Structure 1
Amino acid sequence: MRNAAYYLIFFIFFVVIILPAFVAKSCNVLLPERPGEREKVEKPGELMVSLYVTSQKKIEKIPLEEYVKGVVAAEMPAGFKMEALKAQAVAARTYAYKRLRSLGGSGCSLHPEADICDDPTHCQAWITKTEMLRKWGIFAFYHYYSKISQAVNSTAGMVILYQGNPIDPLFFSTSNGKTENSEDVWGKYVPYLRSVTSPGEEISPRFVSVKEIPVEEVVSKLQAKWPDIVIDPKHPERQWKVLEVSEGGRIKTMQVGNKVIKGTEFRMLFELNSTDIKWERSGNNIKFTCKGYGHGVGMSQYGANAMADKGSNYVDILKHYYSGVEIQKINAGSN
């Protein structure tokens, strides 16, 4: 029994202390500390991306397919179904492909010398292998990186086209059961960004969110945003009314005191998860209940995972969320 106990203690010590240290040391060799450190060697015919890395304030040039792996790792939970990860990979590749200056693309408007940046509020999020290791931990890293690499490599070169041109494949986390028409959010009609049903969203931890804000803070934010607003300082919510609802079931326009504003403006002002908003008085607070998370246009990531869970492949998913598109291969190179 004593020997068994010693072996058990040694095993635990090895697994918890020695092995992680060994793997971490190995990772320092295998994983580049700087983006593109091992991926800079350009292969003949391989498309390269000029990526502006915000944290370093510099441009790195890396292969398109390696870039896509970093986007998928940053933008979608690695535990998602393979076909959902493939759909995300194709969307990420298409977004970059459309902006490649070497192919006549628009490039990054914030950083004119780059094709794209890693700021998710402007382009797409992107992380290095080292950042993936920190995000997932030592033991999960190899499984998740292998899974994402499979999703990217198996769809290498595939992009989303509408009438022969690459689309802007917008995506977001979670819908309220339907996606939005582009014009209902940004005022511009885009034929492939149409409202569609998106079942299975209830699995998302952000499907329903509740936020309470003190009445005084609500009023002060409204007055700061619109100095000429006329609003009841004690019961502002009594002067709110939904005027127009989008096809996706979210607030398009609403009355707030003497103002008519967009649902998107209201959402941003109070930092709410979506424009599917309900409100009620809760003591000295106003309680906001939202369904969904994100702008609602394009592919819902949790919806994509729900479709994959029911047997849809990545082409099915992309054609569902982007109306009238085709998925075709370009010579993007692969690793």
Structure 2
Amino acid sequence: MNFLKKFIILVFMGMTFIIILSLIMVGGQSSGNGLSEFIVKSKNIIFKNSSENSAKIKIYMTKEKKIKEMDLDEYVLGVVAGEMPAEFPEEALKAQAVAARTFGAAHMEAYGGKKYKSNTGADVCDTVECQVFQSKEDRMKAWPKEKAEEYWNKMEQAVKATSGQVLSYKGKLVMEPYYFAVSGGKTENSEDVFKNGEGYLKSVESPGEESAKKYKTSIKLTYENFVDRVNSYYPNSGLSAANLTAQVNIGDRTEGGAVKEIKLGSVTISGTKFRSVMGLNSANFTIYFKDQVYIQCLGYGHRVGMSQWGANAMAEDGKTYVQILSHYYTGISLKKVTSFLR
């Protein structure tokens, strides 16, 4: 009898173990509630996050003159390919991916954004008016054949590694995730360049950009050409080549180094307008009068937000994409774009 009781107990315990193990295996799988699921394998447990449906983005393809709809991350991959050199470290590419994804979401009504100004009905376009977007086919044609696949895979990995991540400031989606090529050493406060100031767009140091081709550039003009160019925009300036040095005066500068105002004879204009008149790379310029007029610039672009070459320098120095983004966008945090769905 004792033997029979022991046998029954052992059988019961074995069956109980099998039932409990089965419940664990089934219960661990997703029940559609968005929670993490796990799959039990022989050697390990793999955690897998359930995917959330994100809104599609509509891009106006300029050459084709039609709207193309795609997943947001597919769009981001094309923007990273079009906006940042493939030679940059992956952490810099990741930072670019997050900034590009934020820009896309900020122009989608599904996330509380506004479409770019056009009559196309698209959320964004594929040119510098929004963000440059390039298809895999077009981008790979421009790369060396022996490097093309490697470069594309590198960018694809950067987008996948940051999938769904966007910039958030004080719990809201960042609507102005500005970025540009080269700062020349320091970025600008947004209010010094654009109409509105944003708390996350503050002037910060941006070292290590000196290797960029457009870190420092210059142009030269004859005194007569300088006067003609200004007078074509401001005919009442009263500038004359004979008395030019006394008629041109640079006023105050911004915290980031850009010229706030410049006096040209009887008119005073902003540094950004002068940049446009002269076709300069940035508003951080200095003017020298010698045998000709020499204008030297630091940086390339509006210099607000993230410097791409600065991101490259930080990544080369071992910084992560989160550190890069936190440096250039003051007070931000990263959130999933789906948390902003309306």
TM-score, normalised to structure 1, is 0.82
Q: Output aligned runs, 1:230-269, within 5 Å.
A: 230-269=238-277
| 1:126 aligned to which of 110, 128, 133 | 133
Q: Output aligned runs, 1:66-77, within 5 Å.
A: 66-77=74-85
Higher gyration radius (CA):
2
| 2:232 aligned to which of 218, 224, 232 | 224
Contact 2:105 2:337 in 1 (8 A): no
- For the pair 1:293 / 2:300, whether they are aligned, the reply is yes
Match of 1:114 in 2: 122
Q: Output aligned runs, 1:18-29, within 5 Å.
A: none
Letter in 1 for 2:85: P
Deviation, 1:194, is 0.5
Deviation, 1:53, is 0.7
Match of 2:98 in 1: 90
- For the pair 1:197 / 2:205, whether they are aligned, the reply is yes
Letter in 2 for 1:240: V
Match of 2:187 in 1: 179
**Higher RCO (CA < 8 A, seq sep 6+):** 1
Deviation, 1:231, is 1.1
TM-score, normalised to structure 2, is 0.81
Contact 1:70 1:127 in 2 (8 A): yes
- For the pair 1:61 / 2:61, whether they are aligned, the reply is no
Instruction: Determine helix, strand or coil for the equivalent of 1:234.
Output: helix
| 1:144 aligned to which of 146, 151, 154 | 151
Paired with 1:128 and 1:216, the residues of 2 have a C-alpha distance of 45
| 2:334 aligned to which of 327, 330, 334 | 327
Instruction: Determine helix, strand or coil for the equivalent of 2:260.
Output: strand
Report the CA distance shift for 1:83/1:44 in structure 2 as closer, same or farther (over 3 A).
closer
Instruction: Determine helix, strand or coil for the equivalent of 2:105.
Output: helix
Deviation, 1:213, is 2.1
Instruction: Determine helix, strand or coil for the equivalent of 1:290.
Output: strand
Match of 1:308 in 2: 315
Instruction: Determine helix, strand or coil for the equivalent of 1:183.
Output: helix
Per-residue deviation, residues 200-226 of structure 1 (Å, max 9, x unmatched): 111211111121123222211211111
Contact 1:307 1:317 in 2 (8 A): yes
Paired with 2:109 and 2:144, the residues of 1 have a C-alpha distance of 36
Paired with 1:279 and 1:235, the residues of 2 have a C-alpha distance of 15
Paired with 1:188 and 1:46, the residues of 2 have a C-alpha distance of 30
- For the aligned residue pairs, the C-alpha RMSD in angstroms reads 1.6
> How many residues of Structure 1 are paired with residues of Structure 2 in the alignment?
288
Contact 2:93 2:155 in 1 (8 A): yes
Deviation, 1:116, is 0.7
Paired with 1:301 and 1:220, the residues of 2 have a C-alpha distance of 35
Name segments (4+ residues, structure 1) moved above 4 Å: none
Identify unmatched segments of 5+ residues in structure 2.
1-50
Paired with 1:113 and 1:132, the residues of 2 have a C-alpha distance of 26
Deviation, 1:104, is 3.7
Deviation, 1:155, is 0.2
Paired with 2:71 and 2:311, the residues of 1 have a C-alpha distance of 26
Q: Output aligned runs, 1:7-18, within 5 Å.
A: none
Instruction: Determine helix, strand or coil for the equivalent of 2:158.
Output: helix
| 1:214 aligned to which of 222, 245, 262 | 222
Instruction: Determine helix, strand or coil for the equivalent of 2:193.
Output: helix
Deviation, 1:288, is 1.2
Contact 2:115 2:122 in 1 (8 A): yes
Instruction: Determine helix, strand or coil for the equivalent of 2:210.
Output: helix
Paired with 1:69 and 1:149, the residues of 2 have a C-alpha distance of 6
Instruction: Determine helix, strand or coil for the equivalent of 2:323.
Output: helix
What is the percentage of aligned positions where both structures have the same residue? 40
Instruction: Determine helix, strand or coil for the equivalent of 1:294.
Output: coil
Paired with 1:303 and 1:71, the residues of 2 have a C-alpha distance of 18
After alignment, is 186-195 or 79-88 more displaced?
186-195
Per-residue deviation, residues 49-79 of structure 1 (Å, max 9, x unmatched): 1000111111001111111011001111110
Per-residue deviation, residues 229-266 of structure 1 (Å, max 9, x unmatched): 11123342432111110000121112111111100011
Paired with 1:126 and 1:175, the residues of 2 have a C-alpha distance of 23
Deviation, 1:166, is 1.6
